[in-house]
Chain A
Amino acid sequence: MSLRVELLIPEIFLFCWAIMIITADLFLIKKNKSLFLYLSQFGFLGAAALVIITPSGPNEVTFNFMFQNDGFATFFKMIILLAGFMAVSSSFETVKNGVEHPGEFFGLVLMSAVGMMFLVSSCELVSFYVALELATIPLFILASFQKRYLKSSEAGLKYLILGALSSALLLYGISFLYGMTGTTVMITQSITLLMNAGKIHYGLTLALVLIVAGLGFKLALVPFHMWAPDVYEGAPTPITSYLSVASKAAGLAALARIIYGIFTVSTASDYWGILIAVLAALAMIIGNIAAILQSNIKRMLAYSSIAQAGYILVGFVAASQMALSSISIYMFAYLFANMGAFAVVVAVSDKLKSDQIPDYGGMARKSPFLAASMTVFLLSLAGIPPLAGFIAKYRVFMAAIENGNYLWLVLIAVATSVISIFYYARVIKEMFITERPAAENPASERGWRMSSAITVAILVGLIGTLVVGIYPQPFLELAETVTQAFIY
């Protein structure tokens, strides 16, 4: 198999760009923080453009299956890059107050994106593991970037320790797979397992459980979710949003590669379905109920994103092409709504210096734009038509119902989505219904002004949410095509 470096051009570009940004931080004496922001925005857009022009398909494989640039990978790379773009766009306020080394901050975001891009492309377990570490190690640093803020350091430390634990679990699972098949290439593994179907039953189940647990930590699935609310709360908000979308997308794609790529054809397929279904049910129930109790909006969104991962898994269990395309479209819809919601949180916390939900009271009058955008994002997360989240949920439920065995899971999903509206509506209620008496200081009565960068992030989220919701056809078609060639 020939070496086809051209398939890696987007990753190489983004990597070099990240190094360039970090280095520039050393040499620029007079720190212009927004310059770094624009540079990293350009990095993400440039990489996205390169991803589009890079050949993509089931045969675009190189480095002995370590890197496969199929449609599925391309789709998830676009999600990761868009999430990265929106995250850095909403970083202006954060960087302005208290980030001393903007070059490192943005460089690490880019670096982590490189890792995620490799992760969604890797079809071989060693490169898979290396990519996973490349994606998460920068995130440990980023989570603790606000050094003077105690909760940020706590977030970084927690994330690091649990990240290490989960990596160990994952590696252990991978070692079992290697032991049983003698190879680390996924496709060869799946063939070996298929040929020996029925012979290596228990070891395979053990490997499956370990790998799901390891990735479960990365995806913040219940019961591996304990780190998520603390880390989400402590990390700088743009990093939280990046964590909740990009890292989830990458983890999901990785899970799909392993489960659909290795286990589906073998005997273990009888087991993974119910395992994932139970995880999905737990995530939806625990995530949604715990979210009701939160008064900090970042923690609330953390639990909400735990629940959202549960909905994605509802589609995942169906084990069909429709399942893959449904989780792809879900991730796409989730990207806009969640990144948008966090961008609004950044903008609001810059003005209010608070992330408490009751402090959002009467916000609609200060900034109708922010309040209306937040409402759209939250309703999309709740799955109210005609927003993107509805199409996504519809698609995911479709996949599960088509399978026929998971009607109970869909019923849990719809019931918990009613619960979810309760806490989303609470934020909407604060913004629109609660009215504040006029402040003594007339200056604070004026409407809010936001940086143009964050406005861009919010607008991207709004447009995405509305367009995918009202005219989903091209996106559904795209998700359909990119998953067609996936091996399962």
Chain B
Amino acid sequence: MDSFSFPILTLMIFVPVVGMLILAFLKQNQLGAIRSVSAIFSGIPLVLAIILLINYNPSGGFQFVEKYSWIPALNISYFLGADGISMPMLVLTALLSFISIIASFGIVHRAKEYFIFFLLLQIGMTGVFAALDFFLFYVFWEVMLVPMYFLIGIWGGPRKIYAAIKFFLYTLFGSIFMLVGILILYFFAVEPGTAGEAARNLYTLDLTVLANMAQNANGLFLREGLQLLVWMFFFIAFAIKVPVFPFHTWLPDAHVEAPTAVSVILAGVLLKMGTYGLLRISFPILPYGTDYFSKFMAVLGVIGIIYGALVSMAQKDLKKLVAYSSVSHMGYCLLGMSVFSHYGQQFIVGMSGCMFQMVSHGLITGALFLLVGVIYDRAHTREIAAFGGLWTKVPVYGSLMTFFCMASLGLPGLSGFISEFLVFIGGFAKYKVLTGIAVIGVVLTAGYFLRMIQKIFLGQLNVKWSDLTEINFREIFTVTPLAILTLMIGIYPRVLSYMMDNSLQELSDKIINGVNIVKGILG
């Protein structure tokens, strides 16, 4: 079905390389040139992403496929493609990267290196969402760690070195489990043969082939216990990235110490790589494990929602508050995806709630971090108690902040509401009690956001800030697209769901079919 002969995904991934090379030859003090080169080379992928969106056919399946043999000795190919699950992520990545680059124009210290690392980061992120070969996926997954380490380590806050190495080690710890899982899949996943025909090992890491193997009704493609082990390995890798409750401790450190734009990327894109990995890899390839552990995921998700919200309430630092709110919001994703279908009815409400949450959390939290950065640049503090009555001084800033806080706490009409609503509908059909507990999270979220708005913007103006300047044009420019999209998705969710409905349906069918096969075989 693919008539798109132009290697658009490759270009989207690797165009920033050109920018990196040009930057390498610029001088540290040519700030204007550095900024425009990085904006251009991070803007091109955004343009390409829009072209991608226009040419996207929402009927499901992988499109814009590119497949070349890369390391035949290990049966690894350079295999890219996009479907309804990766499309929103690709667009979100391109958008947030571009916005973050614009938002980073204030960086003067070692600016050249900063933008080189940022473009490298963009390559890794885009690659993860486009890769359809597990090896390639892993390579991009890891490529991203190094620039992130530098971005936090060089341009971060006071505890930057600790935060950077913690991020690096934590994520690496997860991804090595993924590596072992990959190798187990490579050697032990077999294509069950039809009657009278022996099962054969394909030695492949092609994600589409692996997913099809799981659909083969003639036998188990991965032994039962091994499937659960591999699922757990992948889950550790992805859960650290999300971060799911017991693995979340790297996140507050990394977020608080990272420079503003890097926090935006961390919250907006990196966290989604975890949930995306689960949807792209664990779900279709290991349906039995997914089913086996679905309740476990839901429980972790709900713990995350409540725990994240409670910890947010206790925060004195504005950025830390937003960081912990991410833990809480990503919990919704986990709860939503654990309901991969209603049994009996082929609804995909929970999973599409998860996808909505991934996108809307990316937009909203990205914007919140940008806005936190705005005030930090002026006030040089993020302590909530230090502010007060700022609305009179900075009404535009205040209303933007309020808008995104409302979106984040799930005000109807904005995107956060749609995702939470879908997650709850989906969740309630399967886990009544758990979902009931999760709903408390909404109240808690409203609690900490409203309290924060009240303390910062309302009440007596703290005279210390009487000469605080209003948000400037560049900063408004960075958050405007995010605001528009938040509103658009909130009012007319079809702009998003049309892309992914068919792919999610396919995914859900695959899991249910895969689970039934395994149950049939195991009796």
Contact = CB atoms under 8 A, between A and B. Distances in A.
Interface of A: 379, 384-386, 390, 394-395, 397-398, 401-402, 407, 410-411, 414-415, 417-418, 421-422, 425, 428-429, 432-433, 472-473, 476-477, 480
Interface stretch (B167-175, B214-222, B413-421): B167-175
Tell me which of A385, A422, A477 has the highest count of chain B C-beta atoms within 10 A of its own C-beta: A385
Contacts of A407: 180, 184
A397 B179 contact: yes
Contacts of A384: 142-143, 145-146
A411 B180 contact: yes
Interface in B126-153: 138-139, 142-143, 145-146, 149-150, 153
Interface in B179-235: 179-180, 183-184, 186-187
Interface stretch (B66-74, B259-267, B402-410, B472-480): B66-74
A425 B187 CA distance: 32
| Prevailing SS type, chain A contact patch | helix
Contacts of A432: 113, 150, 153-154
A418 B169 CA distance: 6
A418 B236 CA distance: 15
Contacts of A386: 139, 143
B176 interface: yes
B180 A410 contact: yes
Given A432-B154, A433-B161, A417 B176 contact: yes
B179 A394 contact: yes
A384 B153 CA distance: 18
B311 interface: no
Contacts of B33: none
B165 interface: yes
Nearest to A477: B73
Contact of B176 (A418, A422, A429): A418
B347 interface: no
Given A476-B71, A480-B73, A385 B169 contact: no
A379 B165 contact: no
A291 to B, nearest CB: 15
A402 B201 CA distance: 12
Interface in B54-76: 70-74
A425 B73 contact: no
Nearest to A400: B183
25 contacts: A385-B138, A385-B142, A386-B139, A390-B139, A390-B142, A398-B74, A398-B186, A401-B186, A401-B187, A414-B177, A418-B172, A421-B168, A425-B149, A425-B165, A425-B168, A429-B161, A432-B113, A432-B153, A433-B150, A433-B153, A433-B164, A472-B71, A473-B71, A473-B72, A477-B73
B180 A397 contact: yes
A397 B169 CA distance: 20
A418 B161 contact: no
Given A472-B71, A476-B74, A385 B139 contact: yes
Given A421-B168, A432-B154, A476-B71, A385 B176 contact: no
A236 B89 CA distance: 53
A385 B143 CA distance: 6
Given A402-B187, A429-B161, A429-B165, A473 B70 contact: yes
Nearest to B112: A368
Nearest to B73: A476
Interface of B: 70-74, 113, 138-139, 142-143, 145-146, 149-150, 153-154, 160-161, 164-165, 168-169, 172-173, 176-177, 179-180, 183-184, 186-187
A299 B173 CA distance: 25
A429 B153 contact: yes
A432 B72 CA distance: 37
Nearest to A475: B73
A418 B187 CA distance: 24
A422 B173 CA distance: 11
A41 B176 CA distance: 40
B173 A418 contact: yes
A184 B313 CA distance: 77
A425 B71 CA distance: 29
Given A433-B153, A433-B161, A398 B183 contact: yes
Nearest to B145: A384
Contacts of B113: 432
A421 B166 CA distance: 11
B347 to A, nearest CB: 39
Nearest to B140: A385
A414 B179 contact: yes
Contacts of B164: 429, 433
Contacts of B149: 425, 428
Contacts of A425: 149, 165, 168
A81 to B, nearest CB: 24
Which of A379, A407, A429, A472 has the most chain B CB atoms inside 10 A of its CB? A429
Contacts of A429: 153, 161, 164-165
Counting chain B CB atoms within 10 Å of each CB, the highest count among A390, A394, A480 belongs to: A394
Contacts of B187: 398, 401-402
Nearest to B149: A425
Nearest to A393: B179
A394 B134 CA distance: 13
B168 A401 contact: no
B80 to A, nearest CB: 16
Nearest to A384: B142
Contacts of A473: 70-73
Contacts of B70: 473
A385 B175 CA distance: 12
Contacts of A410: 180, 183
Given A385-B143, A398-B183, 14 more contacts: A384-B146, A385-B139, A394-B179, A397-B179, A411-B180, A414-B179, A415-B176, A418-B176, A421-B169, A433-B154, A433-B161, A472-B73, A473-B73, A477-B73
Contacts of A418: 169, 172-173, 176
Nearest to B154: A433
A401 B172 contact: no
B503 to A, nearest CB: 28
A385 B183 CA distance: 16
A386 B70 CA distance: 13
A352 to B, nearest CB: 21
A422 B164 CA distance: 11
Contacts of A394: 74, 179, 183
Contacts of A476: 71, 73-74
Contacts of B74: 394-395, 398, 476
Nearest to B142: A385
A150 to B, nearest CB: 35
A394 B179 CA distance: 8
A402 B168 CA distance: 29
A429 B161 CA distance: 8
Contacts of A397: 179-180, 183
Which among B165, B179, B184, B187 has the highest number of chain A CB atoms within 10 Å?
A: B179
A384 B71 CA distance: 17
A477 B75 CA distance: 12
Nearest to B184: A401
Nearest to A472: B71
